[in-house]
Chain A
Amino acid sequence: MAYGETPSQTVGPYFAYGLTAGQYGYDFTDIADPVVAGPDAKGEHIRITGTVFDAEGNPVNDAMIEIWQADADGVYSEKPVDVADAGFRGLGRCGTGTDAKNRFWFDTVKPGVVADAQAPFVNVIVFMRGMLVHAFTRFYFDDEAELNATDTVLQSVPADRRDTLIAKRVETPSGIEYRIDIHMQGDAETVFFDV
C-alpha cells in the first residue's frame, strides 16, 4: 500500500448542526434525512424504528444512524441523493436526539432481493460519541424467514446471535413498522460486521 488509511475519529456529541441540521432545527441544509423513500417510491412503504442502548441499558440520545439499501426491485440507486426527491433515495440518516424516547426512524420501502443467497436487508452504520470507529450492521426482516435461512451472511452469524439482526414487523394505525434495537454491549449485543 502506497498510503496508509486516515484513522477514523468519533463523530462526537455536536454533529447535529452539521450532519442532521434539518431534523434538529438548525439553519443549514441536509444532504440526507430519515426519509429513504418518498411517497412516490415503488414498493411496500414501511417505517423502521429502534433505540440504541449502551452497556448499562440506557438509551443513547446522541447517536447517528445511517442506512443504505436497495429499492423494492433489489437495485441500489445510482442517481445522486436528493432530499427533495419524492421517489427512492436509498440513503437515510437520523440522529437519536429529537425523538422523546430517543428512537431513530426511517421512512422507506422494504428492499427487494439484490442477489442470490441473500435475503432482503438494510445496511446500517452506527456513529456516536464514544465510538472512535463507526460500526456496520444490517437489518433483516422477520417475515422473510425462508430467505433469511438462505442468506449467506446471516447464516454465518452464530445462531444464538442472529436475532439481533432481525427487525420485527408490527402493524400500527399509521402503517407497517419494523422494530429493531441496537445494543452496543451485553447479552443482546448487536452483531457488527467488518465489511
Chain B
Amino acid sequence: MSVFKPRDWGSHAPFIAPGYKSTILRGPSRPPLAIKSGLTEGTGPRFAPASVRALDFDLTKNGITNGEPLGERIVVHGRVMDTDGRPQPNILVEIWQANAAGRYVHKVDQHEAPLDPNFRGSGRCMTDENGNYKFYTIKPGAYPWGNHFNAWRPNHIHLSLFGPGFATRLVTQMYFPGDPLLELDPIFLGTEDPVARERLIAKFSIDKTEESFALGYQFDIVLRGRNGTPMEN
C-alpha cells in the first residue's frame, strides 16, 4: 500500500492549461504513470529548527540596509495539515515574493517599478508542534507580465513546503481576498475547480491583526493524507 493517499488531481491544475501560455511548451503532454509510493516517496528530507535563523520569518527585517521597508506590513498565520486534518509539525515553509511596488529582487525581473533597498522578499519559517506557522512581511504589489495584453498578476506570496514525504512536496501561491485580478489571472484560474482554488486565498483576520502594527491573514495549507495508520515518528 502506498504511504500517502493518491494525489487529488481534481484539486490541481492540468499540466497544460492553455490560458497560461508557458504551459503549452513546458507541461508534459502525456499523463503521469501511476506508481505506488513506497518507502521511497514516503520518506523525505527533514530540517532542523536551526536551519531557520532568527530573522528568517520576518521579511520586514531580514533585508534591511538603511531603514524600514515601504508598504503595508502584514502578518500571515497558517496551519499545515493533511487531508484528514492532522496537523503537520516541523514542516519547513519557504517564502518569496515581490515588494510593495510589485518588483522582485530577482535579476531577471525587468518590471519598471522600484526595488526597495530594505526588502529582499525571501524568508522561511517552520511549523510548530501543532502545525502552525507565522511570518511577517510587506503586502506584495501586483505586477504586469507578458502572458497576454494587459496581463497583471494578482498580489501573491510564493510558498514552498516539503511535507512529511517527497511525495507530499507542494509549491503554491497565497492570494489576498477581494483582489479583482484573481478572476483574470490564468495562473490562479489554472486550477479549474472553483472550490479548490478558493483554498489559495488567505482570509483576513482581525484576531490575527496586531494593533497599530500589522494586518493579519490566515492561510491554512492542506497536504495529502496518509493511507491507513499514521506512521510513528
Residues in chain A within 8 A of chain B (CB atoms): 1-19, 21, 24, 26-29, 31-32, 54-56, 60, 62, 66, 68, 70, 76-82, 90-91, 97, 114-115, 123, 125, 127-136, 153, 156-157, 184-185, 189-195
Judging by beta carbons under 8 Å apart, are A132 and B108 in contact? no
Q: List 9 A-B contacts (CB under 8 A).
A: A8-B13, A9-B200, A18-B160, A27-B120, A55-B26, A130-B27, A132-B12, A192-B28, A193-B32
* Alpha-carbon distance A193/B30, docked complex (angstroms): 10
Interface centre among A9, A125, A195 (most CB of B within 10 A): A195
Residue B225, interface by CB 8 Å: yes
Of B29, B37, B81, the residue contacting A195 (CB under 8 A) is: B37
Judging by beta carbons under 8 Å apart, are B158 and A54 in contact? no
Please name all residues of chain B whose beta carbon is closer than 8 Å to the beta carbon of A15 when the two chains form the complex.
96, 106, 158
Please name all residues of chain B whose beta carbon is closer than 8 Å to the beta carbon of A90 when the two chains form the complex.
45
A71 to chain B, nearest CB (A): 12
How many B residues, CB 8 Å from partner?
84
* Alpha-carbon distance A172/B4, docked complex (angstroms): 40
Judging by beta carbons under 8 Å apart, are B84 and A1 in contact? yes
Given contacts A130-B26, A156-B35, A189-B29, 12 further A-B contacts (CB under 8 A): A4-B199, A5-B222, A7-B191, A9-B190, A13-B108, A15-B106, A27-B120, A76-B40, A80-B51, A90-B45, A132-B27, A194-B7
A9 to chain B, nearest CB (A): 4
A67 to chain B, nearest CB (A): 9
* Alpha-carbon distance A129/B147, docked complex (angstroms): 12
Please name all residues of chain B whose beta carbon is closer than 8 Å to the beta carbon of A129 when the two chains form the complex.
22, 26
Judging by beta carbons under 8 Å apart, are B51 and A9 in contact? no
Contact A133 to B12, CB < 8 A, known contacts A54-B26, A192-B28, A195-B41: yes
Considering the complex of A and B, which 4 residue pairs feature the smallest CB-CB distances, nearest first? A18-B96, A130-B22, A130-B26, A132-B13
* Alpha-carbon distance A136/B122, docked complex (angstroms): 25
Please name all residues of chain B whose beta carbon is closer than 8 Å to the beta carbon of A184 when the two chains form the complex.
25-28
Judging by beta carbons under 8 Å apart, are B166 and A4 in contact? no
| Segment from B66-74, B167-175, B176-184, B206-214 that makes contact with A | B167-175
Please name all residues of chain A whose beta carbon is closer than 8 Å to the beta carbon of B7 when the two chains form the complex.
5, 194
B176 to chain A, nearest CB (A): 14
* Alpha-carbon distance A91/B195, docked complex (angstroms): 34
Of B33, B106, B200, the residue contacting A192 (CB under 8 A) is: B33
Residue B11, interface by CB 8 Å: yes
Of A28, A123, A190, the residue contacting B41 (CB under 8 A) is: A123
Please name all residues of chain A whose beta carbon is closer than 8 Å to the beta carbon of B128 when the two chains form the complex.
none
In B91-113, which residues have CB < 8 Å from any A CB? 92, 94-96, 98, 104-109
Contact A14 to B108, CB < 8 A, known contacts A5-B12, A80-B51, A130-B23: yes
Judging by beta carbons under 8 Å apart, are B199 and A8 in contact? no
Please name all residues of chain B whose beta carbon is closer than 8 Å to the beta carbon of A26 when the two chains form the complex.
105, 120, 122
* Alpha-carbon distance A186/B182, docked complex (angstroms): 33
Interface centre among A24, A123, A128, A132 (most CB of B within 10 A): A132
Contact A14 to B25, CB < 8 A, known contacts A31-B47, A134-B169, A195-B41: no
Judging by beta carbons under 8 Å apart, are A19 and B96 in contact? yes
Judging by beta carbons under 8 Å apart, are A2 and B106 in contact? no
Judging by beta carbons under 8 Å apart, are B12 and A8 in contact? yes
Contact A135 to B11, CB < 8 A, known contacts A6-B200, A156-B35: no
Interface centre among B20, B30, B166 (most CB of A within 10 A): B166
* Alpha-carbon distance A116/B121, docked complex (angstroms): 46
Residue B196, interface by CB 8 Å: yes
Judging by beta carbons under 8 Å apart, are B197 and A7 in contact? yes
Of A3, A54, A62, A125, the residue contacting B25 (CB under 8 A) is: A54
